[in-house]
Structure 1
């Protein structure tokens, strides 16, 4: 399939911010390979129907390593200028980390911290040598900005994600790829809740613009949706 702009591989796009990212990139003329977790029809399927030739749907559960490998094998002959890992979960904001069940702690940490790095490691050879690898982080992953507490397990999972990406960047120092930890802001989605400060239209077009601006600037960048550096 020919495209006028380089392609994007978007991991986690069935709803919320991922769905909005797929829509924004398609609107900008990019071809997007976007993933969903299961076999059920999602809003992404409706978006693909409305954008023929721009959105291609793939399937992967990032918590299943065999599925990540299978996705890589299906795409092994493709190259993308951007791979962006959006998939993630949250949990109940109340309660301390000590009050969280072990199963819930493992669920959040595996989905938000371990699995994105497995995806990055597995799919990195699909990214152009001067392309971009991005991961959806959060301002709540900032250790130095944590002056209010709350959302302890979620915060910890994103802080761990940031640390793991920093280790990945250290191992790949000197390479020409751009690496991005993106903090999209507190956005009104099913995950963000109805009290969030930003709408999807406030956040996502700016996320895309920021990724475009950072393209071609090697190294790891921890930034928010407006391109401002987030303190570690």
Structure 2
């Protein structure tokens, strides 16, 4: 088994679950977080022969992030990947309540960056810090109606990640925003054209190819640049 270790934030289902398993399949030791114990992630961990372990985390809680950081003290990661997002439906912005706007922005934009700030100290020099974004966050590609709040949250995530990259430009970490494409997940829906088992291996290929790359890049699963 490789000595390389990855921490995946948000791996109980969908893309995060497949990502954790794909990294473990390729030989990494993987720490995967979930808000609730049990489920498919725990079953996969039990069958992984030690490659996959589960940690509890509510990412929107600064206290829980600090507690996770303390529990992982002494671990050295080559990859920290934050995968977390919610969608509250296809509403025009004038029909979005203040409560819904706040919930989506906290979960999709603020909390991923809080997670990076809380846990980046575990990432070894030359390691990678990545966040699951979406083409939906590209302002230049926003040419069709729909899902205004989700798009805004991903655009905010991208902007905050740019600020993070500027602030930590000299830390030696590769920094990535990843667009995995439209996948059949609880978030993407059953009609999406992609399956996570097909798209996530390509995402991992991109992560591997970008190791050591300077600056911040916004890439799709093919390693192509997504326009801001």
The bucket for the TM-score relative to the shorter chain is over 0.9
What is the aligned counterpart of 1:22 among 9, 20, 41?
20
Of 62, 65, 84 in structure 2, the residue corresponding to residue 65 of structure 1 is: 62
Query: Is residue 2:121 matched to residue 1:121?
Result: no
Matches within 5 A, 1:98-109: 98-109=94-105
In 2: Cα distance, 1:74 partner to 1:9 partner: 13
Asked whether 1:177 is paired with 2:180, we answer no
The reply to whether residue 226 of structure 1 matches residue 218 of structure 2 is no
Please give the alpha-carbon distance, in whole angstroms, between the structure 1 residues aligned to 2:67 and 2:85.
Answer: 20
The alpha-carbon deviation at position 201 of structure 1 amounts to 2.3
Distance 1:196 1:44 in 2: 23
Q: Give the aligned partner of residue 29 of structure 2.
A: 31
Name the CA distance, whole Å, in 1 between partners of 2:203 and 2:122: 22
**Separation in 1, partners of 2:9, 2:47:** 20
TM-score, length basis structure 2 = 0.98
1:210 corresponds in structure 2 to: 206
C-alpha distance in 2, partners of 1:164/1:50?
37
Q: Whole-Å Cα distance in 2 between the matches of residues 13 and 201 of structure 1?
A: 14
CA distance in 1, matches of 2:24, 2:169: 32
Higher mean C-alpha deviation, range 208-217 or range 3-12: 3-12
Alignment counterpart, residue 112 of structure 1, candidates 105, 108, 112: 108
Aligned-partner Cα distance in 2 for 1:35–1:20? 13
Match of 2:192 in 1: 196
Match of 2:87 in 1: 90
- Write the distance in 1 (CA, Å) between the matches of 2:53 and 2:197: 23
> What CA distance in whole angstroms lies between the structure 2 residues aligned with 1:26 and 1:170?
31
Q: Is 2:160 the partner of 1:164? A: yes
Task: Note if contact 1:89-1:108 (Cα within 8 Å) is conserved in structure 2.
Answer: yes
| Match of residue 79 from structure 1 | 76
Residue by residue, what CA displacement relative to the aligned partner does 1:70-122 show, whole Å, maximum 9, x if unpaired? 000101111100000002211112x2112111111111100000000000001
From 45, 49, 54, the counterpart of 1:48: 45
RMSD between aligned residues? 1.0
Report how far residue 129 of structure 1 moved: 1.4
Counterpart-to-counterpart distance in 2, 1:117 and 1:224: 20
Runs of 4+ aligned structure 1 residues displaced above 4 Å come to none
Unaligned runs of 5+ in 2: none
